[in-house]
Amino acid sequence: MHDDGFLRELVAMKDEMGVVSLYVTAGPRVDPGIRPAWEIRLRDELAAMRAQVSAWPERIRRFTVLEHLDALEPEIDRLVDPSEPGIGRALFAPVCSDEIQRTSLQIPFGTCAVLESTAYVRPMLTAMATGAPAGVAVVGRDGVRLVDYRYGKAEEVYRSAYDLDSDDWREMRGPARAGTDQRSSVHRDLFRRRAEENLVRHLYAVAPEITGRVDALRWEDVLLVGDPRLTSALAGALRPLDPVRVDKVVPDGPATDVVSRIVEELVTVRVRRDAALVQRAVDTTLSGGRAVLGAAQTLAVLNEGRVGRLIVDENGHWHGGRGPDGFLYPADQVPQGVVTTDEPDLGERMIERALESRAEVTIVHAHAAGALAPYGGVGALLRW
């Protein structure tokens, strides 16, 4: 399962010789005899890694890593095999171990090959943020359909059935010979009102089921999709839950089709959620509460283990160093007398440190990160 526990397992994967982390966004192979562009990109990344390792002066380390890369070739072939599942695929393999961790999602990862002392997790976190678990309730006159959407995969998890007995209509019409056009119109209005009232009662009856799914499936967002009158009624039944209403009628079909029709709304909801989190961090910091902004302040509280949630702009990049005690510092704010080891990817180190301390990490959509820009694109909510 792709959750914080899974991410903590990845950052716990350490090896002094190095951990090989490979990411690829796969697509179909049009011509069986020609390597697709996405595979060529990964092979180029691996060639660059081999060239870098071949230039190392330490013979034993150089030989060990190159031998490990040779041994990984069958796994790499499998990673780029178009018949394998997943659009985004990743592989993690410590050099001095037989351990290999593979995973895939139905959303892109990008393509890269990285060799560091720990598993490289930022592409995984970024991809997971784009497809965070969401619940989609499709509300219609025949009931409610719930779709669980997470990391590019959509699955129907519940469907309620609502069927107003048509005998009610016949009884309200009465014998055909006794009716007039005016009476028939009145009866139609009465029936329509009764049908609406019964449907609203049905929506209130299924509301506890939806609330239970929100908790059990840990949905970040809940979207109500359908006729505005129906989504409004269900939203009222779900209070104090505050779902997002999408005024769009979606035809019944596979769960993937439902999600494909509301892709833009899902992105909008994520941006809104991320922006609210960023604003909360800014407001809390400026009011003297338990939050900080900026790389230096965030690293200080990460070093102390005080971070409850790390907030990172998805396009942010930071450079710094690691002291002999393991503390992390921005490049231009190393304490006098402290000798540091260069950390060119300080963002990865911040994410790693947060996960190790069991803090949550939010990769913020670029369109929601505006309020973080004056602070270098990073901040944190604190435990204490």
Query: What confidence tier does 181 reach under pLDDT thresholds 50, 70, 90?
Result: low
| Termini Cα distance of the chain | 30
Provide the token pair at 278. 């960023």
Provide the token pair at 368. 């929601």
**Among the ranges given (197-206, 216-225, 302-311), the one the predictor scored with the smallest mean pLDDT:** 197-206
30-64 in b/e form (b: 16+ CB < 10 A) is eeeeeeeebbebbbebbeebbeebeeeeeeeeeeb
Amino acid at 63: F
Residue 112, φ and ψ in degrees, nearest 5: -165, 160
Closest CA to 80 of 124, 23, 152: 23
pLDDT of 114 > 70? The answer is: yes
CA distances from 113 to 11, 256, 345, 365 (A): 16, 31, 14, 24
The whole-number pLDDT of residue 293 equals: 98
Query: What confidence tier does 198 reach under pLDDT thresholds 50, 70, 90?
Result: confident
CA distance 90 to 121: 10
The whole-number pLDDT of residue 222 equals: 96
Closest CA to 232 of 162, 148, 139, 156: 139
Query: What confidence tier does 164 reach under pLDDT thresholds 50, 70, 90?
Result: low
pLDDT of 177 > 60? The answer is: no
Q: What percent of the chain is predicted at pLDDT more than 90?
A: 81
The whole-number pLDDT of residue 141 equals: 85
Write down the H helix ranges in 18-162: 37-54, 59-71, 73-79, 122-130
CA distances from 206 to 139, 145, 146, 158, 159 (A): 11, 10, 11, 10, 10
Query: What confidence tier does 348 reach under pLDDT thresholds 50, 70, 90?
Result: very high
pLDDT of 280 > 90? The answer is: yes
CA distance 306 to 299: 10
With tokens 């690293």, the residue in question is 299
The whole-number pLDDT of residue 187 equals: 61
The whole-number pLDDT of residue 179 equals: 52
pTM of the predicted structure, to 2 decimals: 0.89
* Cβ proximity of 225 and 246 under 8 Å: yes
Q: Across all residues in the chain, what is the average pLDDT? A: 91
pLDDT tens for residues 43-56? 999 999 999 999 99
pLDDT of 32 > 80? The answer is: no
Average pLDDT score over residue span 285-296 = 97
The whole-number pLDDT of residue 184 equals: 65
Average pLDDT score over residue span 310-320 = 96
